[in-house]
Chains A and B, each alone.
Chain A
Amino acid sequence: MNNHQKGAKASYIALAVFILIWISGTSALHRFTKETFAEFQAPALQIVSKGGDLARYWELKSRSNEELIAASRDLARINAALELRIHSMDDIRRENTRLRENARYTANSEFLTVVARVISRDSSSWWQKIIIRKGRTDGIRPGSPVVFSNRVIGRVSAVHLNISEVDLVTSPTFRCTAFLIGDEKRRIVYVRGDAANSLSPNKAKVTAIPIDYNPPTGQPIKVLTTGLGGVFPSGLILGEVDGGIRMSTDDNYKVADLNPAKDLNMIEEVSVLVPQYPTAHEILLAPSEKIKLEEFK
């Protein structure tokens, strides 16, 4: 047996040993390996993202004075409009505070908002997952809803030290309950991601629409979160029904396709609504040895 053969044999043995260890290894080992890989990958993703920001900065810096003056002028206009809105917001805030005081309503907000930049789209999941530049150190918790303005983007599926993974609304692992605009009885419907492949536009599916639901005429059918599930606040926009409502194959109820409220491929910044207390979802997602349901209460 020459050295070349010996080397080949050794590599096969090493591979076999690795596979054996992987198969016989505990779930803790698997999780540790996955976590380590994610943490190892994170700085690279962050560098790429920050590099992109830097490139954008220099690209802007290379613009001519005329261009910058024009942009400044536009910005000044926008700023003026925003100033006005801030003033009106101040009035509303003061009114809100006054009403809360009158009503002696002292409840705090149920969510803390953490703004995060999107640093990558996970190609392995055919764009149904994004990675954001905030993680455990920033207080992000698994299961937290992710929104842009008042539109639902998805929910956090995994949290690492400095980055987090977000399942988009179109991901098959995303599901939530919703109300349809115009349903006076406020019956809940079921929304779940329905991305089949990356070649067609990604959508979600709305099912369990009651047969006697009459959509409002002349306006898009908006799909709003119920707020009943303990994850999403109520009234957030999940999207709009696309292509009309049709009967399910078994004639039991109606179904429809849902266009996400925001173009998920273009999104660059999101807000994570971190609940003040761990949800049941978060507890169940924790490693099994940490689940102590009785102690949770």
Chain B
Amino acid sequence: MSSDDTLEKISVPSAPITPWRMYLIFTLFAVGFIYIFCGLFYRQLIQSQDLIDQANLQSETIVWRPPTRGKIVDRNNVTLVENRVRWSVKANLLGLEGEIDREYRALVKAEKAKESTIKINYEILHQEARVNVLNRWLKKIWFVIDASNQKKSPSEKKRVKFLADSPERQVNVTALAKHMRDSRIFKFTLISDLTFPELRNQISDEEADRSVARFIEQFPVDGPITIESDMIRSYPYGSMACHTLGYVKDTNQLPNDFDPNFEISFKKLSKSKYTGKIGAEGLEQTHDYTLKGSSGWERWTKTSAGYKRELLESYPQREGSQVRLSLDVNIQLAAEKALTAIKDNAGNPLPSAAVMLDVNTGEILAIASLPNYNPNRLASKVTIKYFDEIQEQGGWMNRATQGLYAPGSTYKLITAIAGMRSGKIDYDDILDCGRSLWIGNHEFVEHEPYGFGQVDVEKMLAISCNVWNYRVGLMVGPDLLAQEARRFGLDKTLLKTNPNIMGAENTSQYEIPSPARKMVIPDANFKRSVGQGNWTSGDTANTSIGQGFILTTPLHMACFAASVARGETRTTPTIFHDPLRIPYHEDSRPIGLNRNQLNAIREGMVRCVTEGTARSIQIPGFQFAAKTGTSEYFKNGQKAHLAWIIGYAPAKNPKVAFAVLVEGQNDTNTWGGVTAGPVGQAMVKEWLNSKNKQSEE
């Protein structure tokens, strides 16, 4: 081929481009551009707000701020329940991501090197990597906070390595998995409370503070492990009045009393799981509404992995209101100290209860029950171990309000009042009381081998004569006896919330949870209803001395003592203090005795202390009234004794009334005057001290 041919070929024009193809291409491009332009226009201008909202929804979250609960104080404004700072050690998992990734890669590499046929579960390896990394950090944290690591003075060297058995020495794998699932927005808690309240029986306050101080001062400041503080419930007196005060537990139930505009503004936004506290027992439960406060919230942006990034806005939480109780901390402490001193043969405190209340107002000054528990150990977390420990000891039961017991000889006051009100006897009638009384084929014996001889009402109450009561009980009959007990409200449920007080609609039905409701004042109908057959004279004799089927609580007996002290039939107890309270006792009537009869009852109770069954608890220079009781009950199939004492003080113009109960065991000697008496005496002495101090001030 010549060069001319080549040139000719090159210069030959290609097939001419027809305009319609050009137009088609241009049109396609134009349509494409118009589509893109319209799309952009639509997205940028018309849809923009929706898209911004959508993006915000995906990148923002609401984090709850639970409120601080209100304080509980006693009648003199002494703090019984407050809040303390809880120092927690937390891990910022976002800051640990690099370290976790490295650990994860190492684990994967090690797994692949095994050449195993089992398929690798990468999710498990990821979790394992997190656990390994956090455990390494925990080791460092414990190295810092464990004071035994400090090589300092000889005294430091002697310090035992504390908290060696703390479960928080290792990462809780289940908690970590749950955290990654539900609460990734928060930091992960490695040590929930650096003061270790659950181990406070092993370490002192200073030792607890030391671990906080050591972490703050010795752990490197920069890094993914931080110390954070929040508030936690604190009970300065430990187990004192725990059944009344109660404790708190975790809740995920979101309260509905915070910012009213919240739902409108952030309805569609994702929200963190709410973790707050709710009252679980005692006043913490019944007055949760008052104490709990209102929640706050924070709006955060979050990373694609779900961790917190930037705080956008917040709404503050508000502390709960204060509740003022009628308790007097000094009398309460005295009662509990005296109860704790009553021990079984193994040296453990016997189950018991004590109540003291203001005769005029019904305000409870002390209400104690043993065994008890330390709510501080439940404040951070209710552990199954401690819960079961309390359960095993019977510590959950408030024996003062829930324990049902036969009142024993303290019931003889009812028999005497019933006898005089029915006209069967009078205050100066004398009955012949020998060593026993035969009723049918059964001999009902006196507690004194030779009997008491000639006995009137006063003497009967002083020496607690059984035969006198058998006789009067038979004279009065079971129906009148039961009627008299009911007149004093021994079968009525107590501590009902006053519906007239402000906020009562939001509180529980009762001031303290679950007061006893199944008190028994026996009569013929009752006996038949429980399938025990017909009522007999023997039943009447038993009832007349407070035994048999009859069941009531120590609080009822304290109210009964207060009613007798005032010369009325009912006392409405309350656990709340109101300095301006006008005494009001629901359904209360005059006692229905003439002056001589009432004086005989009161004088008999005074003689009980001066010369009778309670003579061992006299207070020199001070006169008060009491009635002791020792009833029998069956424990583990064997007989044991319940020790009782009820009374009021002073003898003239009474101000306080009290009741004490001690549950004897099969192998203990438990008697009303000797065992329960000193507790009543301790409460009266402490009340006198408080009164004297107030007069001095």
Contact = CB atoms under 8 A, between A and B. Distances in A.
Contact of B139 (A210, A251, A293): A293
A229 B214 CA distance: 4
A226 B154 CA distance: 20
A278 to B, nearest CB: 8
A228 B214 contact: yes
A249 B68 CA distance: 12
Contacts of B79: 212
B153 A229 contact: no
Interface stretch (B313-321, B471-479, B626-634): B313-321
Contact of A190 (B152, B220, B229, B231): B229
A279 B213 CA distance: 13
B74 to A, nearest CB: 15
Contacts, number: 111
Most interface-central of B84, B155, B218, B296 (chain A CB within 10 A): B218
Contacts of A276: 152
Contacts of A173: 221-222
Interface string A276-293: 111111011100000101
Interface stretch (B204-212, B382-390, B481-489): B204-212
Contact of A177 (B82, B139, B217): B217
Given A281-B218, A281-B219, A230 B152 contact: yes
Contacts of B152: 110, 230, 275-277
B153 A107 contact: yes
Nearest to B215: A229
B317 A284 contact: no
A272 interface: no
B83 interface: yes
A222 interface: no
B230 interface: yes
Contact of A283 (B143, B209, B214): B143
Interface string B138-166: 01100110010111111100000000000
Contact of B213 (A177, A210, A212, A278): A177
Contacts of B84: 210
Contact of A188 (B68, B154, B209, B221): B209
A177 B216 contact: yes
Given A188-B213, A232-B217, A280 B144 contact: yes
Most interface-central of A175, A228, A232, A291 (chain B CB within 10 A): A228
Contact of B150 (A172, A174, A175, A280): A280
A293 B140 contact: yes
A136 to B, nearest CB: 20
Given A207-B229, A208-B85, A176 B216 contact: yes
A177 B139 CA distance: 22
A296 B149 contact: yes
A128 to B, nearest CB: 13
A253 interface: yes
Most interface-central of A212, A230, A297 (chain B CB within 10 A): A230
Contacts of B296: 250
A104 B563 CA distance: 66
A252 interface: yes
Nearest to B211: A228
Interface string B304-347: 00000000000011110000000000000000000000000000
A172 B149 CA distance: 27
Contacts of A230: 147, 150, 152, 213-214, 217-218
A281 B220 contact: yes
A174 B221 CA distance: 8
A177 B221 CA distance: 13
Contact of B149 (A226, A231, A251, A297): A297
Contacts of B206: 228
A232 B214 CA distance: 10
B220 A285 contact: yes
A207 B65 CA distance: 19
A281 B141 CA distance: 10
A114 to B, nearest CB: 19
A135 interface: no
Interface string A42-73: 00000000000000000000000000000000
Nearest to A279: B218
A110 B155 CA distance: 12
B217 A175 contact: yes
Interface string A104-140: 0001001000000000000000000000000000000
A208 B217 contact: no
A277 B154 CA distance: 13
A92 B155 CA distance: 25
B218 A252 contact: no
A177 B227 CA distance: 12
A293 to B, nearest CB: 5
Nearest to B83: A252
Contact of B317 (A250, A280, A281, A293): A250
Contacts of A279: 150, 218
Contacts of A190: 216, 229
Given A175-B216, A231-B217, A252-B230, 6 more contacts: A110-B152, A173-B221, A176-B213, A177-B212, A250-B65, A251-B68
4 closest A-B pairs by CB: A229-B217, A228-B213, A229-B213, A281-B218
22 contacts: A110-B152, A110-B153, A173-B222, A177-B209, A190-B216, A228-B206, A228-B210, A229-B217, A230-B147, A230-B214, A231-B217, A249-B316, A251-B318, A252-B83, A253-B85, A275-B152, A277-B151, A280-B143, A280-B214, A281-B217, A281-B219, A296-B143
